[in-house]
Structure 1
Amino acid sequence: MTGELELQGGGELVSAEDAARWARLVELDELAEEFEPRSENTLRSYASDWRVWERYIADVGIPLEAGTPGAFFGFVIWRGKEGAAPSTIQRNMYGAAVCLRERGVDVHPNGPKKAKKAIDALVRMLAEAGEERGRGKAPALTMMQLRMMSKALPDTLKGLRDRAILTVGFGMAARRSELANLRTRDVVVTEKGLQVFARYGKTGARSPAIKKGENEWTCAQRAWQAWAAASDLDPDGPAFQRFNRHKMMGPISAQGIGIAIAGAAEAVGLVGITGHSMRAGLATAAREAKHDYRTIAEQGGWAPNSTALHEYLRIVDQWADNATAGIGM
């Protein structure tokens, strides 16, 4: 019959036009299945994990595209002998599994499971031996430390920028990438403080409000206004710029944000402070001020069931509601 086709697997005849529509829909469905948006940081991390996997298979002499339980178990043992921290090994293992699947490898479900058990065993072994690996979790930045860092910064253009990075970042419990991606128009000054629009984060866009500060050195509104006025920011340009000596050179990177924070900390003798210290610091300070879980999660863009946030709050709660209190010890 002219202009008609028989659908494969059925006896119904349809027009060529309808068949073409269904074919396009199938293509879109396949694209949807494959679509997984990833940040540049995630892509870099996966590429790094894959390079580690390539070193592993070359060293032990197994096929590159091996997705068996033995391959993953051996990977943990191999990385452990290299002295890698358990958290690093787990990240490498997960990244390698993702890359293997993208290459069409049928990763055995027991592979990552066996590897996780081996990682848990490594954690216990290291604990029994009293050995610490990795830099550990970033310490929470306290309000007193934030004040010290901010006050010590010079009133130069770079110093004003770094003070704004510190106070705005702390107030919104920002990730480094969120600060790096802010545009000038995303930071709005109001009578009550700052309204900040974070365009993209792990939990999507968010718009935290930062109340006007009580202390001049930790007030995000004052710090932002001083930086914006001194730098004559373009409303459509980046909120924070990088410097080459004393000259502004365009948008700052997430790494640049981290360098600014670490530099301000080192200037006052604080060790181990990173960009993540601000997120931990806001969470713990807010909990100490009796704010509830939901309020803190919304401010920092944490998922409702965030394990990381639960850990931050437990640090405070373990003293507020302690089993050894009031028992006559």
Structure 2
Amino acid sequence: MNSLPKPSQLKNETSEPGSNKRGTLAEGSQNGVLAASAQQIAAFLAAATSDNTRRAYRSAIRHFLEWGGLLPADEASLIRYMAEHAGKLNPRTLSLRLTALSQWHKHQGFPDPCSYPNVRKILTGITRVHAKPKKKARALVIEELERIVLYLSEQSDIKAIRDSALLQIAFFGGFRRSELVGLRCEDVKWESEGITLLLPRSKTDQAGEGIAKAIPYGDSSCCPATALKRWLSISGVYTGAIFRRIDQWKHVGEQALHANSVNKILTECAAAAGLDYVPEFSSHSLRRGMATSAYRAGASFRDIKRQGGWRFDGTVQGYIEDADQFKENAMHSLLRQKK
């Protein structure tokens, strides 16, 4: 594999132009200050991009290099790369790879070969020829969640108690899986009407201003606040990560669950509860299900968007349209039996 070119080093600019004086710091101290400054700047640059985006970009760069590409790349190599993977990669994946390569060139100070007209035009052509419908996670609606919660309530082990709390908090809080596993005991505020969960940072709040989500107490089979209180009490977790790993001997660990574990927990619980379409579920099914179920129950668009922490109206509108595809269907007038 070809190694990435090293980024340019910061120059020593502590002395004023035209001056031979180097300041009052000794040379070793100056080098230490410059090294610390470089590390700090690198940390700020890294913080400007989310962890998920950085991982996706690193994977894209690695894929290009393993294919045999060189960095910095040229237009011809990009076109060969695109042509070879046109039928193998989803066009959306290929577009992401090009975005990663484009960002690498810009940040390293090289001309961006992805901006050439032929590269963009070929990508458009590949999209038209090989485009596939975007696969959506099936919404887990409230009735299905209730079946899972009922099943888990009949189990006596600590894992079932954790899973019930996790799935209910994820659903009614509209949490992304990364947000869910990142919740800490210190983020929970117990109120007379329910609980408030503070997200110090989320996908739509990269600046870290904080997002608070309120979940009322429930009076049916589902009550996320009660489920959470039971989990914290029986697990003895009072500080740090709320949702933690449980080993084969039913011991609660110190480490938080990995985000990928949410998918596994949901599908295992759904299968055990006897739900259909289990392969179509993912952690995103909980957020989609919350929006779908809340809309069907009469919640407003504004309130649904706020609970899920969605940035764009179009995302929420898509969930609502899926929920309404049978209720508000023009074919009812044609298929309704005449009396």
- Native 8 Å contact 2:73 2:113 kept in 1: no
Instruction: Tell me by how many angstroms 1:273 deviates.
Output: 1.0
Cα separation, partners in 2 of 1:117 and 1:293, compared to 1, 3 Å: farther
Matched, 1:35 2:45: yes
Name the residue aligned to 1:249.
253
What do residues 123-161 of structure 1 show as CA deviations (whole Å, max 9, x unaligned)? 44346xxxx588x22111111121122222223111111
Name the residue aligned to 1:12.
none
Amino acid at match of 1:66: A
- Native 8 Å contact 1:196 1:209 kept in 2: yes
Matched, 1:151 2:150: yes
What do residues 233-291 of structure 1 show as CA deviations (whole Å, max 9, x unaligned)? 1x321111111111112222212233222322233342221111111111222222333
Name the residue aligned to 2:283.
275
- Native 8 Å contact 2:98 2:114 kept in 1: no
Moved more, 221-230 or 101-110: 101-110
Cα separation, partners in 2 of 1:262 and 1:116, compared to 1, 3 Å: farther
TM-score, normalisation: structure 1: 0.76
TM-score, normalisation: structure 2: 0.74
Name the residue aligned to 1:50.
61
Please give the root-mean-square deviation of Cα atoms over the aligned residues, in Å.
Answer: 3.6
- Native 8 Å contact 1:67 1:105 kept in 2: no
Amino acid at match of 2:101: A
| C-alpha separation in 1, matches of 2:123 and 2:184 | 41
Matched, 1:236 2:239: yes
Name the residue aligned to 1:85.
90
What do residues 30-80 of structure 1 show as CA deviations (whole Å, max 9, x unaligned)? 959x73523433322221111111133x1xxx6432253x55444333222
Amino acid at match of 1:183: R
Name the residue aligned to 2:216.
211
SS in 2 for 1:106: coil
Matched, 1:261 2:266: yes
Question: What are the equivalent positions in structure 2 for 1:280-319 lying under 5 Å apart?
Answer: 280-303=288-311, 305-317=312-324
- Native 8 Å contact 1:178 1:201 kept in 2: yes
Instruction: Tell me by how many angstroms 1:174 deviates.
Output: 0.4
Moved more, 170-179 or 40-49: 40-49
Cα separation, partners in 2 of 1:47 and 1:6, compared to 1, 3 Å: closer
Matched, 1:96 2:101: yes
Cα separation, partners in 2 of 1:172 and 1:115, compared to 1, 3 Å: farther
Gaps of 5+ in 2: 1-14, 24-33
Name the residue aligned to 1:177.
178
| C-alpha separation in 2, matches of 1:202 and 1:288 | 26
SS in 2 for 1:208: strand
SS in 2 for 1:76: helix
Question: What are the equivalent positions in structure 2 for 1:190-201 lying under 5 Å apart?
Answer: 190-201=191-202
Cα separation, partners in 2 of 1:100 and 1:109, compared to 1, 3 Å: closer
Cα separation, partners in 2 of 1:291 and 1:55, compared to 1, 3 Å: same
Name the residue aligned to 1:164.
165
| C-alpha separation in 2, matches of 1:296 and 1:242 | 30
| C-alpha separation in 1, matches of 2:108 and 2:330 | 52
